[in-house]
């Protein structure tokens, strides 16, 4: 079965791959810090306070989340993760994107020439439907299709 959702495009692109889902806000610093400091090839989530994604690889995946949380370093962390090639391929926000995440994604696109994709306003039903491991397709127009 397929479920389709429509979001607002923050950074466009096409993607087909696997979802990693957090039903709570994602602390960007705690999530990326350990892998970035180790100069790792992928991000294994190091935020022990987020059992939804702790220990999972999010590099090149579709990170589905309500919002990011944490300090003002959030945008810089996302921009740096993109520059290092560690970031998720897609950020899919169920809620309105927060300013820190938006700034990091925009900076990654402009300064790093990143191909990171971002949609927001996908809605609570999106986050209630998608599960870690689901196949997701994202289109440039903001359409997200979940194979469930």
CATH number at residue 43: 3.50.30.10
Q: What is the pLDDT of residue 44?
A: 95
Q: How many domains does the chain have?
A: 1
Q: What is the pLDDT of residue 1?
A: 86
Boundaries of domain holding 54: 2-147
Query: Within 13 Å, how many C-alpha atoms sit on residue 59's CB side?
Result: 16
CA distance 29 to 142: 27
Cβ–Cβ < 8 Å for 28, 91: no
| More confident: 27 or 38 | 27
Question: Structure pTM?
Answer: 0.96
């Amino acid at each position: 079965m397929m479920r389709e959702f429509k979001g607002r495009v923050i950074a466009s692109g096409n993607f087909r791959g696997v979802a990693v889902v957090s039903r709570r806000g994602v602390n960007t610093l705690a999530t990326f810090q350990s892998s970035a400091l180790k100069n790792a090839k992928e991000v294994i989530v190091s935020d022990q306070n987020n059992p939804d994604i702790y220990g999972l690889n999010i590099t090149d995946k579709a990170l589905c989340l309500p919002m990011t949380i944490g300090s003002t370093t959030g945008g810089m962390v996302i921009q740096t993760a993109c520059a290092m090639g560690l970031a998720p391929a897609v950020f899919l926000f169920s809620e309105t994107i927060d300013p820190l995440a938006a700034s990091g994604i925009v900076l990654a696109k402009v300064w790093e020439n990143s191909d990171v994709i971002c949609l927001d306003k996908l809605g609570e039903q999106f986050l209630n439907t998608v599960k870690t491991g689901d196949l997701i397709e994202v289109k440039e127009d903001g359409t997200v299709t979940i194979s469930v």
